[in-house]
A and B are shown apart, each in its own frame.
Chain A
């Protein structure tokens, strides 16, 4: 094999092995050269900042009364040991809402209603031991107490079996009565009231 060819192949092998694609060529050897100057591909490293200095920009909260955050010169502790904060503005002092004042009770004077309403008496016939002598009458009901002298008007509620009584509001009468409701038998028929003093229950009183 040609020695020069062998040398070239060896160089090529070494070049592939160690130098990648960099092609290395030998300087032509001058016969008179006493020294070989070796130049290397020295490189200097320059580092450029790829990002600007850390900086926190305050974000405004919604509304004009939002929390103010002043932090233009804010740095993280690792970058700058002294951290200065901005003044914290207090929360808004104006509170909006509806007053809860609906719970009130208006008092009405209802005397005119009360004056015209009748009093009502239930039938107490089941508790009466002394009844008027029947004669040609049938005993139906007994109502008490009634201030007879104060009565303006009475009405029988036939559905409920109660007696409605309208009093003269100016009357000073006090004597309580009971009144028996009797049904007359025979000619004419009709009803009859028979009064008796309640403080003398055994006495069956006048008819009316």
Chain B
């Protein structure tokens, strides 16, 4: 893993719809320009594997197999990791040994100033006014001290000044769609 400078964000998604598991990682600089993109082949556990792994199957697939493999394959070192699913925070934090947050869009009214961090009722959940021209995204930062949370929010505000914070997630979806189309095309041509 090469260190490409301090300002890199790592976006990770892991999906497990209808028994088909897949993960992807997009590392971007603070302008949203891609530096690395890794994805897994879809994994569909067999009936035998479902029986043998039991209830631990999904955890094993998501956390050990997909997350661990993606991070290991990434050739840049993000300073901060962003996930869409809050359940990935703890396992990803364990793997990357860095700060991780879950970020989601909200429809709340903008807070009074850029950089405002408003705690919500649920512990570890904040609204962050990341820029002056959007609704504050919902930020989940479990088990962080107040000063750590402020440090994270400042980093996200810096990034939001030159990129749209949640946009890389939709780009991951598009990229996986292109991969799938290409895969289907190559299969039908054989």
Contacts and interface: CB of A to CB of B under 8 A. Distances in A.
Interface in B24-47: 24, 26, 31-34, 36-41, 43, 45-46
B164 A119 contact: yes
A142 B45 contact: no
Contacts of B66: 105
B87 interface: no
A167 B33 contact: yes
A100 interface: yes
A102 B65 CA distance: 12
Contact of B171 (A106, A114, A178): A114
B132 interface: yes
A106 B163 CA distance: 31
Pick the 10 closest A-B CB pairs, nearest first.
A114-B37, A114-B34, A107-B73, A127-B133, A110-B37, A124-B133, A105-B40, A113-B175, A106-B41, A176-B162
Contacts, number: 113
Contact of A124 (B36, B40, B134): B134
B28 to A, nearest CB: 9
B34 A107 contact: no
Contacts of A109: 37-38, 73
A108 B38 contact: yes
A127 B132 contact: yes
Interface in B130-168: 131-135, 160-164, 167
- Place the interface of chain B in its size category: 35 or more
A105 B134 contact: no
A104 B44 CA distance: 10
A59 interface: no
A124 B164 CA distance: 11
Interface stretch (A32-40, A71-79, A144-152, A185-193): A144-152
Interface in A99-131: 100, 102-111, 113-115, 117, 119-122, 124, 127-128
Nearest to A111: B37
A147 B38 contact: no
Given A110-B37, A120-B164, 17 more contacts: A102-B49, A103-B60, A107-B70, A108-B41, A109-B37, A110-B175, A113-B175, A113-B178, A114-B36, A115-B34, A117-B34, A117-B178, A119-B32, A120-B167, A128-B133, A144-B133, A169-B34
A199 interface: yes
A114 B26 contact: yes
B175 A145 contact: no
B61 interface: yes
A111 B49 contact: no
B32 to A, nearest CB: 5
Contact of B110 (A100, A111, A127, A199): A127
B167 A119 contact: yes
A80 to B, nearest CB: 51
A115 B174 CA distance: 12
A113 B177 CA distance: 10
B48 interface: yes
A106 B179 CA distance: 14
A181 to B, nearest CB: 14
Given A111-B34, A114-B175, A103 B65 contact: yes
A106 B66 CA distance: 9
Interface string A136-172: 0000001011010010000000000000000101000
Contact of A119 (B53, B72, B171): B171
11 contacts: A105-B69, A109-B38, A110-B38, A111-B37, A113-B37, A117-B34, A117-B174, A120-B167, A128-B133, A145-B164, A199-B161
